[in-house]
Chain A
Amino acid sequence: MSNKVVPITIIAGFLGTGKTSLLNHLLAHAEGRRLTALVNDFGALNIDSELIAAQNGNQISLANGCVCCSIGDDLTLALAQVMNQTPRPDHILIEASGVADPARIAGFAQVDRELRLDGIITLVDALAHQRHANDPHLADNYQRQIAAGHFLLLSKTDLASAAQTHSVSQQLAAQKPTTPIAIIEHGVFDAKVLLGLNETGLLPAQAEIKHDLRQWSAHMTAPVPRLDLLNSLSTLAPHLLRAKAVLHDAEGAYVLHYAGGQSSVSPFDASPSGHFVLIGKPDMPDDASLEQLLTPQAPLPAHRQTEARQ
Chain B
Amino acid sequence: MSLIFAAKSIITMNPSQARATHMAVRDGHILAVGDASHIAQWRQAWGDMPIDESLSDKILMPGFVEGHTHMMEGLFWNYDYVGYYDREGPDGNVIAGLKSIDDVVARLSQINQQRDDKTQPLIAWGFDPIFFDGRRMNTADLDKVSTDCPVIVLHASLHILNTNSLVIEQAGVTPGDNNEAVRRDENGHPSGEFLGQLGMYMAMRTTGLDLLGAAGSAQTLINFANVARQTGVTTATDLANPVPVEAVQTMRDTVSQDSFPMRLVVAFQGGGADPQAGIARIQELQSQQTDKLRFSLVKFVADGSIQGFSARLKFPGYFNGADNGLWYIEPDRLKALISAYHAAGIQIHIHTNGDECTDVALDAIEAALRENPWPDHRHTLQHCQMANRAQFKRMAKLGVGVNLFSNHLYYWGDAHINITMGPERAARLDDAGGALAENVPVAIHSDAPVTALAPLFTAWCAVNRVSSKGVKLGGETEKLTVEQALYAITMGAAYSLHMDHEIGSLEVGKRADVAILEADPLQVEAAHLKDIAVYGTILGGKVHVNKRGAK
Contacts and interface: CB of A to CB of B under 8 A. Distances in A.
Interface of A: 14-15, 40-41, 43-44, 57, 72-77, 79-81, 83-84, 97-101, 103-104, 106-114, 137-138, 140-141, 144
A301 B499 CA distance: 77
B103 interface: no
A67 B210 CA distance: 20
B324 interface: yes
Nearest to B272: A41
A97 B177 CA distance: 20
A43 B274 CA distance: 8
Interface of B: 170-178, 181-182, 194, 197-202, 204-205, 208, 210, 212-213, 242, 244, 269, 271-274, 301, 312, 323-324, 326-333, 356, 360
A86 to B, nearest CB: 11
Lowest 7 CB-CB distances: which A-B pairs, in order? A113-B172, A110-B176, A41-B273, A80-B204, A99-B327, A111-B202, A107-B178
A113 B171 CA distance: 6
Contacts of B194: 111
Contacts of B330: 14-15, 97-99, 138
Contact of B213 (A81, A114, A138, A141): A81
Contacts of B244: 57
Contact of A107 (B198, B272, B332): B198
B69 to A, nearest CB: 17
Contacts, number: 109
Nearest to B302: A99
Contacts of A73: 242, 269, 271, 301
A79 B201 contact: yes
Contacts of B172: 111-114
A76 B197 contact: yes
A76 B181 CA distance: 14
Contacts of A43: 273-274
B506 to A, nearest CB: 37
B327 A110 contact: no
A202 to B, nearest CB: 29
7 contacts: A77-B213, A99-B330, A111-B171, A111-B172, A112-B171, A113-B172, A137-B327
Contact of B178 (A14, A84, A104): A104
> Looking at A57, A84, A144, which has the most chain B CB atoms within 10 Å of its CB?
A84
> Looking at A14, A73, A97, A137, which has the most chain B CB atoms within 10 Å of its CB?
A137
A83 B210 CA distance: 12
A296 B204 CA distance: 44
A137 B356 contact: yes
A48 to B, nearest CB: 19
A80 B204 CA distance: 6
Contacts of B331: 137-138
> Looking at A109, A110, A141, which has the most chain B CB atoms within 10 Å of its CB?
A110
Contacts of A112: 171-172, 201-202, 205
Nearest to B245: A57
Nearest to B167: A111
Contact of B198 (A41, A110, A141): A110
A84 B205 contact: yes
Given A15-B332, A76-B204, A140-B323, A106 B177 contact: yes
B201 A108 contact: yes
B273 A40 contact: yes
A15 to B, nearest CB: 6
A288 B545 CA distance: 85
A57 B269 CA distance: 16
B350 to A, nearest CB: 15
A119 to B, nearest CB: 13
A110 B178 CA distance: 9
A229 to B, nearest CB: 20
A274 to B, nearest CB: 27
A69 to B, nearest CB: 14
Nearest to A144: B323
A80 B207 CA distance: 11
Given A84-B204, A97-B330, A113-B172, 16 more contacts: A73-B301, A76-B201, A76-B204, A76-B212, A79-B201, A80-B201, A98-B330, A99-B329, A103-B177, A103-B178, A107-B198, A109-B176, A111-B199, A111-B201, A114-B172, A140-B323
Nearest to A73: B269
A17 B154 CA distance: 38
B242 A98 contact: no
Contacts of A103: 177-178
A11 to B, nearest CB: 16
Contacts of A81: 210, 213
A111 B213 contact: no
Nearest to A137: B331
A141 to B, nearest CB: 7
A101 B242 CA distance: 24
Contacts of B205: 80, 83-84, 111-112, 114
Nearest to A15: B330
Contacts of A15: 330, 332-333
A84 B208 CA distance: 6
A81 B208 CA distance: 9
A198 B370 CA distance: 56
A44 B273 contact: yes
Given A74-B212, A84-B204, A137-B327, A110 B175 contact: yes
A113 B194 CA distance: 16
A99 B356 contact: no
A100 B326 contact: yes
> Looking at B175, B326, B328, B331, which has the most chain A CB atoms within 10 Å of its CB?
B326
Given A99-B330, A107-B178, A77 B204 contact: yes
Nearest to B170: A113
B176 A137 contact: no
B273 A98 contact: no
A77 B178 contact: no
A144 B242 CA distance: 30
Contacts of B301: 73
A144 B330 CA distance: 15
Contacts of A99: 326-330
